[in-house]
Structure 1
Amino acid sequence: MKQKVSFRFLWMGQSFANLGDVFYIVGLVAILYMESGSAFYVAVLPFLNTFGRFAGGIASPILFSAFSLKRVLACSQILKTILLVMLCSIYIGTNVSVVFVFACIVFIAFLDGFASPAMTAMVPRLVEYDEIVRANSFLSVVTETIQLGGWAVGGLLVALFNGPSILWITCVLFILSSIMMALLQDPVHNTSNQKNTKAFISQLTKGWKLIWFSPLYRTIHILLLLEVMASVVWIAAILYVFVAEVLQVSEAWWGYINTTFFIGLLIGGIGCSKLFRFVEHHTRTLFLLSSIGVCAVTVWFGLNYVPWIALFLSILVGILGQIKSITIDSILQKRSSTEDLPILYGAQGALLSLSFGVSSLLFGAMTEWKGAPIAFMAAGSILGLAAIIGWINKKNLPKNID
């Protein structure tokens, strides 16, 4: 790797931040419910998080044109830490206003809205060209391992302590992440000299123009948009209803399905890491087959009434989804210029956050009115449409990325 030490700082900093984000959500849920006693306030949390990320994605091109990725990463993590310390400090000796908590949620999500694309765009700057697939696979395995264990540990910590205590632990993790981000070196120096308002405004639309006018980017993002719309069937509200009303088992099975899904993600990430040369040589084929596979498995899951089969299918969805995600990131990182990649990821983050938020409401209403199986059938239909579009436009996708 051309920047081995910096890549180590990147994945360590990302790991501390990801674990902190899990604890942060767990702690906030406990605080909101303790302060308000309302399930509605808890349900507002993902909406505010989505809104903040969308706003951050919209603003990201201006930041990427004015500052280096390292500075964006370090400053965003430091600001997240400061906001969280403020929230924890104000909580001591008094009750926190729910409005203040909501404001902190939005601002922290806003910072994540441009930190996440910056982190992903940093990968090809720190690793050799032929190591990008392996690096993405490694980062995916680390992330999913943290997700798999973080929620369980977070729940245990809440049971042993309380919400504010978990947030103080999150502060420590955010501080460690900030240090890691400050230590990494960005080999690409920002040479932008955009000074006037018109130039800044043009930066806001640059990512969207890149997506629309490039056949490769347009095809990938149309498929991503459809897949994110369909992915909302796996959120807690819909999956919980499916477990209770269709599988007719205890709510513990909701946790089992989530766990097996993350196990599938891990298997997919490890497989891509071990077979990264195969992934590089058969990128388009793997992408199209995984798209078709996710569609078929989602429909099968919606038609299934057997709990143990549901666990097997959730593993398959995780494996196929991870393969698709790694191939998409690797294509974008290998086919995009160093300057365009952060802006491209920023626009992507805004687009997908908005899509996920709107789709969550629509699929939630569909589940309420028509039932969870219909929601899964609708998701499968959308994924089928994505697979068809991908197949029709396969000429826009590279056969390989070696």
Structure 2
Amino acid sequence: MRKSFQYLWISQLFANLGDVFYIVGLISIIYHSSESALLMALLPFLNMVGRMISSSFAPLMFNRYRLKQLLVISQGIKTILLLILVVGLIYTDSFIFVFILVFFVALLDGLAQPAGTALIPRIVEKSKLLRANSILSIVNETTQLAGWALGGILVAVTNGNFIIWLTLVFYIISTLCMAFIIDRTPFERKITVTKKQELSEGFRLIWDNRSFRSIHFMLVAESIANVVWVAAIMYIFVANVLHVSEVWWGYINTVFFIGLVIGGFVCTKFEHIFIQHIKVIVLFTAFAVALVMLVFGLNQIAMMALLLSLLYGVFDQVKGIVLGTWLQVKASDQELPKVYSAQGVITSLMFGLATLMAGAFANMMSVHWLFIGAGLLLLVSAVYFSLIQKRFE
């Protein structure tokens, strides 16, 4: 099964790098064609909406098809859609054409993401799950960190169309790697229940299991709190609180991603210790991220903000990997993809709503209060875990 995991992380590497390059390329094309900030903002909006919609309907697919089959088909269709996009851009400059394809690609991503994550415990031994999740996390965060920088350089040297052609190559490699994954988990089609029951199955699994419900309470709190890291809020914080140039937003963002990568390496290095002391690690990191967020909101020194951003990334990553691994161990192979699809809907919805509210509050009060509020919410989450940690046995 070691080779299957290698094929999985390599496919994720090229798929994620392609996803970043494809957005960079489209932003470049749209900017040079219209210079419209609104049109560029539609890209992440459509991406979020598409993923949320497909995550809602994902259980219907999980009951009928194998996870590997869904991964290969979804990535293959994404490749075809991208081919249509690059060819279509030769003959048309219609933004409607571009946004329709972006939306359909997002629909496929919303299906592939829970399927790919749920596939990990099927192809990796349970004793190696924490290491596997750490490796995938390092791959994902490194891709995000390097992808935007490399994509920006390439688009400056070449153009947006070249970047999208390069993405097409990455998608083809990713699809081929997925085809070599071997999943021997027995599969039985489950279509005896009603569609309504199928669609709500993931939500019911989360609600009926006390430990799953506790994890997702913490995930929701984190999704709401993390809106302070979005570009619009951080830009205001850098200008109005730290009183430095906007380039510091890039520094803080970069250091945050470096912290995520370091957190992944820490989990890999100390996997046996973390597995043996899951509750202690989650409790410590839960209080740590709350404290760091509170201090970040009160801080007005730019260099200190960099250090706090790094620490937040490290602690948040460790907590996320450990909790995610625990969920993979406790949920059955049949339950896990449905739990992940419901999780995607919940966290995306809460993050989207919280982003809108944060934007409104930022216009009414000093932005540092948003960070303090986020820190207090994370503190509530940490206290909550300290009270219910007996559920995590």
TM-score (norm 2): 0.97
Q: 1:8: which partner in 2? A: 6
Shift of 1:369: 2.2
Match of 2:36 among 35, 38, 42: 38
- Find out whether 1:345 has 2:343 as its counterpart: no
Which stretch has the larger CA shift, 368-377 or 10-19?
368-377
Q: What amino acid sits opposite 2:206 in the alignment?
A: I
Find the aligned partners of 1:255 and 1:183 in 2 and give their Cα distance. 38
Find the aligned partners of 1:190 and 1:199 in 2 and give their Cα distance. 19
Match of 2:159 among 157, 162, 185: 162
Find the aligned partners of 2:243 and 2:99 in 1 and give their Cα distance. 35
Q: 2:129: which partner in 1? A: 132
Shift of 1:377: 1.4
Shift of 1:390: 1.5
Once the two structures are aligned, what percentage of the paired residues are identical? 45
Shift of 1:32: 2.2
Shift of 1:148: 1.5
Displacement over 4 Å in runs of 4+ = none
Shift of 1:193: 4.1
Contact 1:20–1:171 (Cα < 8 Å) also in 2? yes
- Find out whether 1:278 has 2:276 as its counterpart: no
Counterparts of residues 179-328 of structure 1 (less than 5 Å): 179-194=176-191, 198-328=193-323
- CA deviation vs aligned residue, 1:297-327 (integer Å, no higher than 9, x gap): 1111111111110110010000001111101
Find the aligned partners of 1:167 and 1:312 in 2 and give their Cα distance. 35
Q: 2:385: which partner in 1? A: 390
Contact 1:35–1:98 (Cα < 8 Å) also in 2? no
CA-based RMSD of the aligned residues comes to 1.2
- CA deviation vs aligned residue, 1:141-189 (integer Å, no higher than 9, x gap): 1221211111110110111122222111111111111111111111113
Contact 1:68–1:189 (Cα < 8 Å) also in 2? no
Counterpart secondary structure, 1:369: coil
Q: What amino acid sits opposite 1:56 in the alignment?
A: S
Counterpart secondary structure, 1:67: coil
Find the aligned partners of 1:328 and 1:183 in 2 and give their Cα distance. 29
- Find out whether 1:150 has 2:147 as its counterpart: yes
Which stretch has the larger CA shift, 27-36 or 378-387?
27-36
Q: What amino acid sits opposite 1:17 in the alignment?
A: A
Find the aligned partners of 1:395 and 1:318 in 2 and give their Cα distance. 27
Q: What amino acid sits opposite 2:43 in the alignment?
A: L
Q: What amino acid sits opposite 1:133 in the alignment?
A: L
Counterpart secondary structure, 1:59: helix
Q: What amino acid sits opposite 1:138 in the alignment?
A: I
Shift of 1:45: 2.1
Contact 1:66–1:190 (Cα < 8 Å) also in 2? no
- Find out whether 1:361 has 2:356 as its counterpart: yes
Find the aligned partners of 2:271 and 2:239 in 1 and give their Cα distance. 40
Find the aligned partners of 2:224 and 2:29 in 1 and give their Cα distance. 30
Shift of 1:31: 2.0
Q: 1:110: which partner in 2? A: 107
Find the aligned partners of 2:186 and 2:154 in 1 and give their Cα distance. 42
Q: What amino acid sits opposite 1:304 in the alignment?
A: N
Find the aligned partners of 2:32 and 2:143 in 1 and give their Cα distance. 26
Unaligned stretches of 5+ in structure 1? none
Q: 2:59: which partner in 1? A: 61
Q: 2:368: which partner in 1? A: 373
Counterpart secondary structure, 1:370: coil
Find the aligned partners of 1:362 and 1:299 in 2 and give their Cα distance. 19
Q: What amino acid sits opposite 1:332 in the alignment?
A: L
Shift of 1:383: 1.1
Find the aligned partners of 2:43 and 2:361 in 1 and give their Cα distance. 21
Which stretch has the larger CA shift, 282-291 or 389-398?
389-398
Find the aligned partners of 1:7 and 1:224 in 2 and give their Cα distance. 26
Find the aligned partners of 2:51 and 2:350 in 1 and give their Cα distance. 12
Shift of 1:105: 1.7
Match of 1:19 among 17, 20, 40: 17
Shift of 1:368: 2.4
Shift of 1:84: 1.3
Match of 2:86 among 88, 107, 119: 88
Find the aligned partners of 2:42 and 2:296 in 1 and give their Cα distance. 28
